[in-house]
Structure 1
Amino acid sequence: MPDNPPEPGILLVNQIGGDIRRRVRLAELSPGDKLPSMRQLSREYGCSVGTLQQAISALTREGLLDSSERKGVFVAQSSNRPRFIVLALASLDTVGNIVTRVQDAIKQTPYHLIILAAQGDFGDQVEMLDLLVKNQVAGVILCPPTDNRFAPAVKRFLTHGIPCVQATIRLDGIDVDAVVFDGVEAGRLAFGHLLKKGHRRIGYVDLGSQVPSFCDIRTGADMALREYGLRFSDLAVSYVEGDVVDLSEPHANGTRATQSLLAEHPDLTAVVGINPVITTGIARAVHESGRSVPKDVSVVAIGDDGSFALSRPQITAVWTRKSVAAGRAAVRLCQILDGDAGSPRVMQVMPRLVERNSVLDLTEQDATEETPRHHEPQETSRSQ
């Protein structure tokens, strides 16, 4: 029955359950079908009858199977099959736009949406996902945080066999489909915009994250800088300290990192923030240092949460289109649930630069300074 024997080191109960779920989802097993005997299945899966019984019991509790000591094990009727898609978010920011996109993507399907939004610790999210497996979850759209330390927990969850698509950010070593923003293009747009405006002394407030999307941003920044004879290694970079966000003052880490950056490099003319929260902290640090945006320090954000259009000054940002990525991830998940799985692939959403008024154009300033001033002779008034 199984296509491949269980992989060494992976919990057999979860892998067996995942294989049976997949076969039900792909209609290889139809409602009312009787499964082979326990002894036959245990031989096919290469496990003990006791291990197989644990997997069958778990699927019975989920409502996917019906089990009877006398009649055997059957696939439950379609009304009991998984009908929920879970949207797991790393934070509450931009939740509205993301949810709207996902709802639009699945509204013509038989699935209903469950939303999980973390308030700091994404590990709690994964534990909740483990619990929801028992409540008829068909698939998961995972919008993870920018921290690879949660990758092992996600890997453990994937052993349940529930289809999963990553959206907005891609964690290392998670071998599932992903729809993410093009980090290289995001970095190129942010730094390229400042360089075109004449800025050369640019600072960068970074998280130090090594997830692929953020490494791509640095690559894109380096590409833009090289066009002007510079490199990413030439930048003044300040890394945010700590991985715990104070929910009452989420921009505080960005403020502290920028204060250190400006103290060490007082000649900076511009600073780029790795995300909207950090960039809000950058703008505050500039103000608290007695300087202003953009007169003294220009500011650009990677990521636009909508509030920048209302701030003073309005912040120029690279819109990474997270909601678009989440919507496309939902479409991809529905395709997988319909049987179009194939090999995991990464799809990219192209970001866009939203130019506002937080960047001073130094090229215009230089041109003004270089233009000779012609003083007209003043007329002398005569008293009558």
Structure 2
Amino acid sequence: MATMQDVADLAHVSLSTVSYTLTGKRPVSAATRARVEQAMAQLDFRRDPVARALASRRTHVLALAYPVYGVSLGATLNEIVQGAVEAAREADYELVLWPVSSSEPEVLRELAAGRTADGVLLMEVALDDPRIEAVESQGLACALIGRSADPADRVWVDIDFEESLEVAVDHLASQGHTHIAFVNRSQADLDAGYGPSVRALRAYEESMAQRGLTPVSTPCDVNPGAGRRATSALLAEHPELTAVIVMNELALFGVASALREAGRSVPRDMSVVGIAISGEISDMYDHPLTYLAAPGPDQGRRAVHGLLEVLGGRPAPAGVNLPCTLQVRETSGPVTRLTTP
């Protein structure tokens, strides 16, 4: 493995000049910098991350706090993580996973106190998320992939769930559907104040009320079996349903099973619309799924960029709600059967 001295010898400069080129602590002429960088490329030089951290007092590591226990990192969330990883590496940072949920702030406090990361990205953000205080109490900056009830001047990048549910309800209502159900995330998420679940439910109820329609919603654990059971229960209690909106990636496949078992043809007897999912999930469904496309990697990238701005001593960029875009495919269509109010 090449050393800094090897680089210095090949570039015909002093060891200190190589160090100044790497750290930027003192000015180096453009010509000299070019020789040093050419030598590093020729030798495939990789700076020791421990030495870099000691020199700069930075770890060049960002931590992603994500509650992996009981939550599946599906295709949609994986796209967010992918965007964050790419943005971090472009800035010469690495991303590490801290598997901590909003119910474990003391675990996160301990991790933050170890100073093994320069900043923390929080995923699956609750409206009142104690992880924020846990991180900031240890002097680390955090960015929210999501949004708390009062994000103040912190970095946050969320999905516009209010607009997404309005678009979904409007799409179905415009095709004559008046009995539209909503399959949400789990009751545990709602009880914990998980932001997307709470905001989406509120937006669905408001969109239905504005049209004089009766909302019918159910919480559902994030797995296909729960989706099957929740949908079967909805159909048994509300046989008049002709459409369902699903904001639960893995439950979607259970929804499809329940509809088949009930003899409901999609979209002839039942329209299905997914919320904040990826195109990959749409393609995996029984029929290409009509869905509101999640912003995907852009959400992770923006959160990392914002966090790096703060770490660089600059003000946090304004928080942003990213829109989902409606992709009309094969699982939604006009009402074709009479329903009983």
Structure 1 residue ranges without an equivalent (≥5) = 1-30, 32-62, 64-75, 367-384
**Separation in structure 1 between the aligned mates of residue 142 and residue 249 of structure 2, nearest angstrom:** 27
1:356 to partner: Cα distance: 1.3
Residue among 204, 207, 215 paired with 2:182: 204
**Separation in structure 1 between the aligned mates of residue 106 and residue 333 of structure 2, nearest angstrom:** 44
1:289-317: CA deviation from partner (whole Å, max 9, x where unpaired): 23232222111111213222132212211
Q: How does 1:216-255 map to 2 (within 5 A)?
A: 216-222=199-205, 224-225=207-208, 229-231=211-213, 234-240=214-220, 250-255=223-228
**Separation in structure 2 between the aligned mates of residue 117 and residue 322 of structure 1, nearest angstrom:** 21
Is the Cα contact below 8 Å between 1:187 and 1:216 reproduced in 2? no
1:171 to partner: Cα distance: 3.4
Is the Cα contact below 8 Å between 1:186 and 1:320 reproduced in 2? no
Residue among 161, 169, 180 paired with 2:139: 161
Structure 2 residue ranges without an equivalent (≥5) = 1-24, 26-49
Q: Identity across aligned pairs (percent)?
A: 25
Cα RMSD, aligned residues only: 3.1
Matched, 1:186 2:164: yes
Q: 1:258 to 1:220 in 2, by over 3 A?
A: same
The aligned counterpart of 2:45 is none
Residue among 308, 317, 330 paired with 1:334: 308
Q: 1:135 to 1:160 in 2, by over 3 A?
A: closer
Q: 1:332 to 1:195 in 2, by over 3 A?
A: same
Is the Cα contact below 8 Å between 2:119 and 2:142 reproduced in 1? yes
**Separation in structure 2 between the aligned mates of residue 129 and residue 112 of structure 1, nearest angstrom:** 20
Residue among 131, 134, 152 paired with 2:114: 134
1:43-62: CA deviation from partner (whole Å, max 9, x where unpaired): xxxxxxxxxxxxxxxxxxxx
Q: Residue 118 of structure 2 aligns to a residue in which SS?
A: strand
Is the Cα contact below 8 Å between 2:209 and 2:215 reproduced in 1? no
Comparing 191-200 with 130-139, which one deviates more in the overlay? Answer: 130-139
Q: How does 1:73-92 map to 2 (within 5 A)?
A: 78-90=55-67, 91-92=72-73
Q: Which amino acid aligns with 1:331?
A: H
Q: Residue 136 of structure 1 aligns to a residue in which SS?
A: coil
1:66-115: CA deviation from partner (whole Å, max 9, x where unpaired): xxxxxxxxxx9534423211123344213542233123323342422223
1:220-267: CA deviation from partner (whole Å, max 9, x where unpaired): 43554356x324xx1122233xx6x5xxxx222222222211110011
1:319 to partner: Cα distance: 1.4
Matched, 1:109 2:91: yes
**Separation in structure 1 between the aligned mates of residue 93 and residue 57 of structure 2, nearest angstrom:** 13
Is the Cα contact below 8 Å between 1:192 and 1:221 reproduced in 2? no
The aligned counterpart of 1:28 is none
1:164 to partner: Cα distance: 0.6
Q: Output the TM-score relative to the length of structure 1.
A: 0.63
Q: Which amino acid aligns with 1:160?
A: Q
The aligned counterpart of 2:286 is 312
Q: 1:171 to 1:281 in 2, by over 3 A?
A: farther
**Separation in structure 2 between the aligned mates of residue 254 and residue 129 of structure 1, nearest angstrom:** 35
**Separation in structure 1 between the aligned mates of residue 158 and residue 73 of structure 2, nearest angstrom:** 18
Q: Output the TM-score relative to the length of structure 2.
A: 0.70
Q: Residue 287 of structure 1 aligns to a residue in which SS?
A: helix
Q: 1:93 to 1:352 in 2, by over 3 A?
A: same
Q: Which amino acid aligns with 1:270?
A: A
Q: Residue 147 of structure 2 aligns to a residue in which SS?
A: coil
Give the aligned length.
276
Q: 1:129 to 1:291 in 2, by over 3 A?
A: farther
1:283 to partner: Cα distance: 1.8
Q: 1:113 to 1:125 in 2, by over 3 A?
A: farther
The aligned counterpart of 1:260 is 233
Comparing 193-202 with 127-136, which one deviates more in the overlay? Answer: 127-136
Q: Residue 327 of structure 1 aligns to a residue in which SS?
A: helix
Q: Which amino acid aligns with 1:341?
A: P
1:354 to partner: Cα distance: 1.6
Is the Cα contact below 8 Å between 1:117 and 1:125 reproduced in 2? no
Q: 1:293 to 1:126 in 2, by over 3 A?
A: farther
Larger Rg: 1
